[in-house]
Structure 1
């Protein structure tokens, strides 16, 4: 492998801004902020949404009116469920 072309991976703490949940992952992202995580100091990256706050993972996802869309499609194109 060529030397000097690969990014430096290090452990970084990502924090969900809306819930405050933190998780540790390897990343190349730079940050001027640091935080204490399980007794060690790590760079901190704030994210707006993560699996802790995303509606799909929390079970609070609202589904669009799929039945209404299907009915409108069937009416428009003359399809019926026979």
Structure 2
């Protein structure tokens, strides 16, 4: 590897501003704001808008807006009725 071309990684605390969830990870980002972590050390704090604690995919609070299929949506949009449907 070439020397001097790679960024320097250091421990950083990321905080989800929606839920307050914090996690410690390596990062190249710097911040003026710091926070004391559970181990007693002080680390830079980066605030993020969304994390695994608040993202719908990870929380299971995902909305399924299109439950019906393409054909059903087409028929509903253009007013077609299924003549073969059971009465």
TM-score by length of 2: 0.77
Cα–Cα, structure 1 residues 25 and 70, in superposed 2: closer, same or farther, change >3 Å?
farther
Match of 1:42 in 2: 43
Measure the CA separation in 2 of the matches of 1:19 and 1:31: 20
For the aligned residue pairs, the C-alpha RMSD in angstroms reads 1.9
Larger radius of gyration: 2
Cα–Cα, structure 1 residues 34 and 62, in superposed 2: closer, same or farther, change >3 Å?
same
Alignment of 1:3-82 (within 5 A): 3-38=3-38, 39-73=40-74, 75=75
- The alpha carbon displacement at 1:66 in A equals 3.0
Size of the aligned set, in residue pairs, is 76
Per residue, is there more helix in 1 or in 2? Answer: 1
Per residue, is there more strand in 1 or in 2? Answer: 1
Runs of 5+ consecutive residues of structure 2 not aligned to the other structure: 79-87
Measure the CA separation in 2 of the matches of 1:59 and 1:12: 27
Per-residue displacement from partner, 1:27-50 (whole Å, max 9, x unpaired)? 101111100111110000000000
- 4+ residue segments displaced more than 2 Å: none
- The alpha carbon displacement at 1:53 in A equals 0.6
